A and B are shown apart, each in its own frame.
Chain A
Amino acid sequence: MNERDDLRREGNDEPRWLRLAADLRAEPAPGTLARVRERLATREREPAWVRWLGRPVTLATSVALLLVCAWAGNTWIATTERARPDGATLVSALLDEDGSFGLGLESDAASPEPGADSGAVMR
């Protein structure tokens, strides 16, 4: 149904029974004003930074800060990589020559005899 059809329909007489919709009403609960005053007073007693945290703009600010930090970090890493003449990267600096993260573990070739608690079958 497009808007023009809707507008034409709206011009038609509304059914009489639709007036019954106005029969259902509500009123605020008694003591509403007192509770609102109390809530306002509580809110005003809160420190400014707590009130700031409760605002929707906080989420937007947090996302913006996250993006700025990600961009700054990325730029810093890229700059550091370019400044290193041997082309070493942060990961390669952390890795040992054999790629073992420098934990000093020896390979199987270096120690052919399995340990007593290795679970290997001894012949």
Chain B
Amino acid sequence: MERSNPLADAGERELIDALRRKDMAALEQLLERCGGAMATLARSMLRDATEAQDVVEEALMRAYEAGPGFRGERGVRTWVLRITANLCRDRLRRRRFNAGSLDGPTPIEDAGLRFDPVGSWDENLDRQAMAERLDAAIARLPEDQREVTVMRHRLGLSHDEMCAALGVPLGTVKSRLARALTTLRHELRDWER
């Protein structure tokens, strides 16, 4: 029988308090609530399922260890996504240092992403093929633009949440989003017609 987590119905404040106490149940709850967003961000950024899984685990470990010092001003989700984003940046920097660059975006299966339609799509188009093409275009974006695009359009973060997660001003977030959108519009210009 599956044990129930005492923090399953806990509010944000209770979860933060439990994290501060280094309560293992809080870590489990963190994975439950934010694991999907962490994995989606890591896999979209790194395009490598194994490396992304390692980043998710490392991020959870860091959250657990840094828990006692967490003030909780900007929310747990933003905090763990910030840790995940920083770890992804470290990995990408290391890849560049090791002269290992991606020739092109890897397919969504290799990246460990799963097609999971959200909302309705009333046109007679192959939604999955379009999502894959869009994903390939996102994967080709420069790192900083890819980061904000994934956070905004894949994870649904607000501008304020993105500012907190990335540690950059609002103007920078908006500027990166606008540049990313310009590039995506150009790459997928046949969809604009």
Contact = CB atoms under 8 A, between A and B. Distances in A.
Q: Is the interface of B mostly helix, strand, loop or mixed?
A: helix
Interface residues on A, range: 20 to 34
Contacts of B53: 28-29, 32
Interface stretch (B8-16, B38-46, B69-77): B38-46
B61 A39 contact: yes
A27 B38 CA distance: 8
A9 to B, nearest CB: 4
Interface in A1-37: 1, 3, 5-7, 9-10, 14-15, 17-29, 32-33, 35-37
Contacts of B116: 23-25
The 5 closest A-B pairs by CB, nearest first: A6-B178, A21-B153, A6-B175, A26-B39, A28-B35
B135 interface: yes
Of A19, A25, A37, A43, most B-chain CB atoms within 10 Å: A25
Interface string B108-136: 10011111111101000001101100110
A57 interface: no
Contacts of B178: 5-7, 9-10
A24 B45 CA distance: 13
Contact of A7 (B44, B61, B65, B174): B174
B31 A33 contact: yes
Given A17-B134, A28-B35, A22 B153 contact: yes
A26 B40 contact: yes
Nearest to B138: A21
A40 interface: yes
Contact of A15 (B24, B36, B42, B185): B185
A40 B61 contact: yes
Given A26-B42, A27-B35, 17 more contacts: A9-B182, A10-B174, A10-B181, A15-B191, A18-B153, A18-B184, A19-B118, A20-B134, A21-B150, A22-B119, A22-B156, A23-B116, A26-B36, A28-B31, A29-B53, A36-B60, A40-B61
A23 B130 CA distance: 10
B171 interface: yes
B94 interface: no
Given A10-B178, A40-B61, A32 B35 contact: yes
